[in-house]
């Protein structure tokens, strides 16, 4: 195995988004020899695209905001399926993490008093999102990236990890290739942190990039770890729908937070017809009250456009189905008639730019057409809430790839804060674990490495008839059609059957060209991960016979209190996914009490 | 609605390469990156091209379209005549890896030379107070998506490989400017930019500003003020000393 490039570290972080960078900075600060590995160039991870903001109860605009209120909003948004301890830690620590970003150079928008400004978002009782216009993710990733560079942390850019090394049930490192040259790499490290983000590339209409192939989810499962809550996929209510080439690109929720409203083809603000019992008490029931809320939050209730995302996405879906959609199959999002052109350009500069450049729409003068787009996966690697340790020794997960924090539905803004809080925690505990081993480090076996190399090269030698791009498209059509926003048992069964067929097909994938920067080859390898993750989603969705948050079953249209006590778990068995259920952890009494007041 | 687009794509690697002609289907509303993806999926599975967000937010998809440095995800086909052949090639200033992908590590090396942000102590209540007007100047530069189009365009390095070691380039001039204008930072970077970043080599042609997809006024708001201050400071050390002492108290 002479042609494998070797490196040795204490902690290897897979992923350079908000979670990976936070984890690496912290592990490094704890004294661990740390490396970051990422598929794209540094600074291009998904985090860069986040727009709206970072949720943290700083209380800069609403002194009555505090972690308890944030905790309660998060749990209610997730329909109480969140791991309570993660939601608690998240709400408690988010403000400090935001202030830390400022110490590292981030320049957030300010309040009149010169403090960090906060903006309204769906499901958050108070204006809570620290932001920079509508490019908050860029500010966050750049701040963390610059910090990591200044600390001198080693970064392996454009390298893809394809396998984890495990010796006797403990992590020994990671194996992958350099995209630029096709050169294989082996990182020997007793602690590996997965910070690989999400899975959206398995869907046709998505706000996610080519990177979101569920690698971390698949790596964890193959190493013997478990996934939790995989049936919960967030369809963001507002993606672009026209022209076709931009279908799915995100339209930030800030448009609604800043005053935009949803209308159907009849001009009706239809969200008033979709206020569920669960949120009735806190949602305005007239346009007048909803409009007053922007100015006076104490005496008015929130507009229904700012209900949690699952509620809004389902409502849009229903309007379109009922024939009240916009010309290109969405609904109208109108801020032009409600706010001045100046205000819109100032608050939403990149949305203005995006519509102008890509759709010839001036959002200060006309309404946008929007519809649901696959955006975020709530499900992920099952971890310990305090340390982010998975069930495999030495394997940690943080950020979108980790499960539990968001329950059945994530509130906007709660991801960026999640990355900071749990990225840092993963860094602390992974460094501590690596140090605790002393000289007793698990080692990778050469035989295992040789096997990984063979698997990775298979698409070159395969005499198959499958094109990776064609198979990918079929998978996207399948997931969009049968495992999408509204599901039925029949369709899910059909989906798992078709996924089995695709698992056969993926073995016959062949690629042209050589090993140097070959996207066809990269996709061929990523497809294995997408299939494993898609199978997890489909099977978990079939298992959960109720509707809750990001999982809607037409054949079980309501939430079932018994299911409300259970998590669905995925693990690998015989090259496929095996499903089981496990009871939710019990919330302590003092936290339960927070849900009694209205 | 769809039509056949004549596309001429540079294909090759560090050793050799050439433009290859393709006919690709194109649809209404599409951008250059869309047709490159279609080309990948149907005719050239191993065509190397970088991209991530497809919405002008990540700065990955930079290339030259008909010789102009552009983000391919924001370059609409409707900007061209349907009969016209569109040619795409890799950024010229950086060494080619394969097809449309270049080795941009120059930029990441320059990033390492920027000194660490060094904030003043917090206010007694544990916060930093900064006014919106004061953060806005720095925010303009922090819009940078690191697409390297300005770096690619600047003739100081585009035509003069030998200048690369001494010249950080426009992207980093605004990084130094941003730190200099940061209400909390305590470093003095003017010496640094002059000595190490090579701002003196810039002769204010403004080509960098013209190609910036974020519309950052790199020259007017970043480079020129920095040059003026560097000049000031060289001229009279006391001016610099004074500004350093009084800046925080403003
Ligand atoms: C358009 C958009 C807007 C959003 N807006 C908001 C918002 O306003 N507020 C909010 O809270 N959330 C928002 N989100 C969600 C949030 O941005 C993401 O959930 C979050 O950024 C994920 O961060 P992460 O660190 O987990 O992963 P990412 O930032 O996606 O990083 C993943 C990293 O893992 C690497 N990686 C993956 N697989 C491998 C592999 N096999 N080998 C090596 N490296 C690998 C990738 O290269 C990348 O560096 C938005 C999302 C989108 C798409
Ligand atoms: S203005 Fe200066 S930095 Fe910008 S392109 Fe011209 S010479 Fe280069
Ligand atoms: S300054 Fe503009 S052109 Fe230069 S890298 Fe940044 S965004 Fe690109
Ligand atoms: S793909 Fe992100 S800027 Fe073009």
Nearest to B13 among A99, A359, A516 (CB): A516
| Residue of B148, B197, B223 with the most ligand 2 atoms within 8 Å of its CB, for mutation | B223
Please state whether beta strands A34-37 and A11-14 pair in parallel, antiparallel, or not at all (unpaired).
parallel
Alpha-carbon Rg for chain A in angstroms:
23
- pLDDT in the model for residue A418: 98
- CA B13 / ligand 4 centre spacing (Å): 22
CB contact under 8 A, B51 and A209: yes
- pLDDT in the model for residue B195: 67
B245 pLDDT higher than 50: no
**Which residues does ligand 3 sit against, CB inside 6 Å?**
B 59, 144-150, 170-171, 174, 211-214, 216, 218
Asked if the bond preceding A243 is cis, omega within 30° of 0, the reply is yes
Fold of A238-370: Flavocytochrome C3; Chain A, domain 1 (3.90.700)
CA–CA separation, A74 and A71 (whole Å): 5
Order across the sheet with A184-188: list the strands: A4-8, A184-188, A170-178, A159-167
Work out the number of other CB atoms within 10 angstroms of the CB of residue A589: 7
Residues whose CB falls within 8 Å of the CB of residue A468, separated by 6 or more in sequence, listed in order:
A459, A509, A511, A520, A521, A523, A524, A527, B45
In this complex, is the C-beta atom of A285 within 8 Å of any C-beta atom belonging to chain B? no
In this complex, is the C-beta atom of B143 within 8 Å of any C-beta atom belonging to chain A? yes
Please state whether beta strands A566-573 and A34-37 pair in parallel, antiparallel, or not at all (unpaired).
unpaired
Contact by Cβ (8 Å): A184, A125: no
Q: What is the mean pLDDT of residues B69-91?
A: 96
B94 pLDDT higher than 90: yes
- Cα A112 to the center of its chain, rounded Å: 33
Active site residue A236: yes
In this complex, is the C-beta atom of A49 within 8 Å of any C-beta atom belonging to chain B? yes
Q: What is the ipTM of this complex?
A: 0.92
- CA B211 / ligand 2 centre spacing (Å): 11
- pLDDT in the model for residue A424: 98
CB contact under 8 A, A513 and B13: no
The closest-lying atom of ligand 1 relative to the alpha carbon of residue A198 is: 30
Please state whether beta strands A184-188 and A368-377 pair in parallel, antiparallel, or not at all (unpaired).
unpaired
pLDDT band at B230 (very low <50, low <70, confident <90, very high): confident
For residue B223, what is the DSSP state? I
What is the CATH code for A45-152+199-232+378-443+459-598? Answer: 3.50.50.60
Q: Which stretches of chain A drop beneath a pLDDT of 70? A: 1-2, 597-598
- CA A401 / ligand 1 centre spacing (Å): 9
Contact by Cβ (8 Å): B120, B43: no
Q: Please provide the DSSP assignment of B119-188 as one string.
A: BPPPPTTS-----HHHHHHHHHHHT-----HHHHH-HHHHS-GGGGGG---HHHHHHHHHHHH-TTB---
The alpha carbon of residue A166 is apart from the nearest alpha carbon of chain B, in Å, by 31
CA–CA separation, A104 and B185 (whole Å): 10
**Which residues does ligand 2 sit against, CB inside 6 Å?**
B 153-154, 156, 170, 202-208, 219, 223
Tokens 């910070």, residue?
A195
Give per-residue pLDDT as tens, A489-548. Answer: 999 999 999 999 999 999 999 999 999 999 999 999 999 999 999 999 999 999 999 999
CA–CA separation, A262 and A273 (whole Å): 12
Burial per residue of A174-193, b for 16 or more beta-carbon CB atoms within 10 angstroms, e otherwise: bbbbbbbebebbbbbbbbbb
pLDDT, greater one: B2 or A529: A529
Q: What is the dihedral of CA A464, A465, A466, A467, to 10 degrees?
A: 110
CA–CA separation, B135 and A107 (whole Å): 6
CB contact under 8 A, B111 and A518: no
Token pair in block for residue A150: 């200044």
- pLDDT in the model for residue B239: 45
Q: Is A466 helix (H, G, I), strand (E, B) or coil?
A: strand
In this complex, is the C-beta atom of A210 within 8 Å of any C-beta atom belonging to chain B? yes
- pLDDT in the model for residue B243: 45
CB contact under 8 A, A517 and B48: yes
Kindly provide the residue ranges of all beta strands, DSSP E only, lying in A112-232, ordered along the sequence: 118-119, 129-130, 154-156, 159-167, 170-178, 184-188, 191-194, 227-228
Burial class (CB in 10 A: 0-12, 13-18, 19+), B221: middle
CA–CA separation, A237 and B11 (whole Å): 40
Which residue ranges make up each domain of chain A?
45-152+199-232+378-443+459-598, 238-370
Contact by Cβ (8 Å): A228, A220: no
Token pair in block for residue A288: 């007048």
Tokens 């060289």, residue?
B234
Contact by Cβ (8 Å): B113, B196: yes
Mean pLDDT over the full length of chain B:
90
Q: Hey, of B37, B48, B78, which one would you mutate to test binding to chain A, going by the most A CBs within 10 A of its CB?
A: B48
pTM of the model: 0.95
CB contact under 8 A, A44 and B60: yes
A561-569 long-range CB contacts below 8 Å, 24 or more apart?
Answer: A564/A79, A564/A80, A564/A81, A567/A81, A567/A228, A567/A229, A568/A228, A568/A229, A568/A230, A568/A231, A568/A540, A568/A543, A568/A544, A569/A226, A569/A227, A569/A228, A569/A382
Please state whether beta strands B62-65 and B17-26 pair in parallel, antiparallel, or not at all (unpaired).
unpaired
Q: Which residues pair with A185 in a beta bridge?
A: A5, A176
Burial per residue of B98-109, b for 16 or more beta-carbon CB atoms within 10 angstroms, e otherwise: bbbbbebebbbe
Please say whether the dihedral angle defined by the alpha carbons of residues A508, A512, A516 and A521, taken in this order, is positive or negative: negative
Phi-psi region of A505 (alpha: psi -120 to 50; beta: other; left: phi over 0): alpha
In this complex, is the C-beta atom of B17 within 8 Å of any C-beta atom belonging to chain A? no
Burial class (CB in 10 A: 0-12, 13-18, 19+), A404: buried
Give per-residue pLDDT as tens, B38-57. Answer: 999 999 999 999 999 999 99
Alpha-carbon Rg for chain B in angstroms:
21
- CA A239 / ligand 1 centre spacing (Å): 17
CA–CA separation, A133 and A368 (whole Å): 19
The alpha carbon of residue A518 is apart from the nearest alpha carbon of chain B, in Å, by 5
**CA-wise closest residue to A572 among A301, A218, A279, A277:** A218
Give per-residue pLDDT as tens, B18-43. Answer: 999 999 999 988 999 999 999 999 99
- CA B178 / ligand 4 centre spacing (Å): 23
B117 pLDDT higher than 90: yes
Phi, psi (rounded to 5 degrees) for A166: -135, 130
Can you give A290-355 as a three-state secondary structure string? HHHHCCCCCCCCECHHHCCHHHHHHHHHHHHHCCCCCCCCCEEEECCCCCCHHHHHHHCHHHHHHH
> What domains does chain B contain, in order, with CATH numbers?
3-102 (3.10.20.30), 105-249 (1.10.1060.10)
B162 pLDDT higher than 70: yes
B224 pLDDT higher than 80: yes
Work out the number of other CB atoms within 10 angstroms of the CB of residue B201: 15
The alpha carbon of residue B87 is apart from the nearest alpha carbon of chain A, in Å, by 20
The closest-lying atom of ligand 4 relative to the alpha carbon of residue B53 is: 2
């Amino acid at each position: 195995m002479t042609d494998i490039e070797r490196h040795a570290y204490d902690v290897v972080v897979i992923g350079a988004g908000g979670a990976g960078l936070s984890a690496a900075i912290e592990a490094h600060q704890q004294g661990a020899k740390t490396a970051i590995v990422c598929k794209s160039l540094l600074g291009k991870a998904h985090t860069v695209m986040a727009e709206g903001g970072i949720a943290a109860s700083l209380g800069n605009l609403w002194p009555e905001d505090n972690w308890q209120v944030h905790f309660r909003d998060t749990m209610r948004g997730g329909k109480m399926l969140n791991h309570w301890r993660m939601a608690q830690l998240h709400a408690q620590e988010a403000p400090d993490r935001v202030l830390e970003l400022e110490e590292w150079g981030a320049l957030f928008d300010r309040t009149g008093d010169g403090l960090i400004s906060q903006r309204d978002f769906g499901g958050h009782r108070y204006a809570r999102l620290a932001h920079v216009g509508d490019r908050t993710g860029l500010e966050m990733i750049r701040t963390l990236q610059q910090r990591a560079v200044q600390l001198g942390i080693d970064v392996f850019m454009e390298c893809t990890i394809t396998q984890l090394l495990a010796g006797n049930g403990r992590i020994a490192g990671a194996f992958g290739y350099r995209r630029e040259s096709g050169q294989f790499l082996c990182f020997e490290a007793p602690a590996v942190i997965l910070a690989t983000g999400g899975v959206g590339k398995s869907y046709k209409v998505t706000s996610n990039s080519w990177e979101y192939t569920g690698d971390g989810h698949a790596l964890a499962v193959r190493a013997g770890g478990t996934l939790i809550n995989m049936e919960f996929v967030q369809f963001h209510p507002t993606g672009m729908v026209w022209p076709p080439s931009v279908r799915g690109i995100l339209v930030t929720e800030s448009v609604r937070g800043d005053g935009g409203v949803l209308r159907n083809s009849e001009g009706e603000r239809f969200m008033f017809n979709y206020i569920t019992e669960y949120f009735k008490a806190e949602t305005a029931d007239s346009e007048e009250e909803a409009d007053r809320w922007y100015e006076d939050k104490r005496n008015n209730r929130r507009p229904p456009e700012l209900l949690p995302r699952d509620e809004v996405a389902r409502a849009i879906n229903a309007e379109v189905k009922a024939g009240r959609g916009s010309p290109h199959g969405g609904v109208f999002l109108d801020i032009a008639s409600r706010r001045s052109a100046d205000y819109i350009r100032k608050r939403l500069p990149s949305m203005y730019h995006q519509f102008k450049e890509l759709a010839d729409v001036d959002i200060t003068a006309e309404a946008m057409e929007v519809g649901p787009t696959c955006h975020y996966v709530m499900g992920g690697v099952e971890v310990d809430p305090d340390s982010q340790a998975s069930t495999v020794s030495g394997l940690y997960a943080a950020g979108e790839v980790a499960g539990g924090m968001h329950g059945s539905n994530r509130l906007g803004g709660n991801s960026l804060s999640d990355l900071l809080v749990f990225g840092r925690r993963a860094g602390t505990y992974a460094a501590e674990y690596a140090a605790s081993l002393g000289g007793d480090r698990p080692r990778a076996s050469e035989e295992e490495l040789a096997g990984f190399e063979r698997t990775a090269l298979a698409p070159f030698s395969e005499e198959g008839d499958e094109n990776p791009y064609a198979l990918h498209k079929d998978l996207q059509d399948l997931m969009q059609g049968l495992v999408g926003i509204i599901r039925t048992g029949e369709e899910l069964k059909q989906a798992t059957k078709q996924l089995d067929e695709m698992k056969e097909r993926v073995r016959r994938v062949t690629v042209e060209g050589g090993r140097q920067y070959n996207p066809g080859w990269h996709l061929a390898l990523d497809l294995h991960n997408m299939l494993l993750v898609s199978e997890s989603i489909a099977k978990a969705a079939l298992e959960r016979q109720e509707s809750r948050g990001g999982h809607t079953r037409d054949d079980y249209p309501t939430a079932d209190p018994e299911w409300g006590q259970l998590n669905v778990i995925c693990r690998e068995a015989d090259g496929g996914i095996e499903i089981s259920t496990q009871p939710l952890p019990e919330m302590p009494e003092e936290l339960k009490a927070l849900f009694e007041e209205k | 609605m769809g039509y056949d687009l004549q596309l001429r794509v540079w294909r090759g690697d560090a050793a050799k390469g050439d433009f290859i002609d393709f006919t690709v289907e194109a649809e209404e509303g599409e951008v250059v990156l869309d047709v490159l993806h279609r080309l990948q999926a149907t005719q050239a599975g191993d065509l190397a091209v970088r991209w991530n967000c497809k919405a002008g937010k990540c700065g990955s998809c930079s290339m030259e379209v008909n010789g102009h440095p552009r983000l391919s995800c924001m370059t609409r086909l409707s900007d061209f005549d349907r009969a016209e052949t569109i040619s795409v090639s890799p950024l010229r200033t950086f060494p080619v890896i394969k097809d449309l992908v270049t080795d941009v590590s120059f930029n990441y090396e320059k990033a390492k030379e920027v000194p660490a942000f060094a904030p003043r102590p917090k206010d007694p209540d544990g916060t930093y107070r900064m006014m919106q007007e004061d953060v806005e100047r720095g925010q303009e530069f922090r819009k940078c998506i690191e697409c390297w189009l300005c770096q690619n365009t600047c003739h100081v390095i585009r035509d003069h490989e030998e200048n690369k070691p001494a010249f950080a380039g426009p992207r980093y001039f605004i990084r130094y400017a941003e730190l200099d204008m940061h209400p909390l930072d305590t470093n003095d970077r003017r010496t640094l930019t002059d000595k190490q970043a090579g701002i003196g080599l810039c002769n204010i042609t403004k080509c960098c500003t013209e190609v910036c997809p974020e519309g950052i006024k790199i020259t007017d708001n970043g480079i020129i003020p920095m040059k003026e201050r560097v000049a000031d400071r060289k001229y009279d050390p006391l001016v610099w000393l004074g500004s350093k002492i009084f800046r925080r108290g403003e």
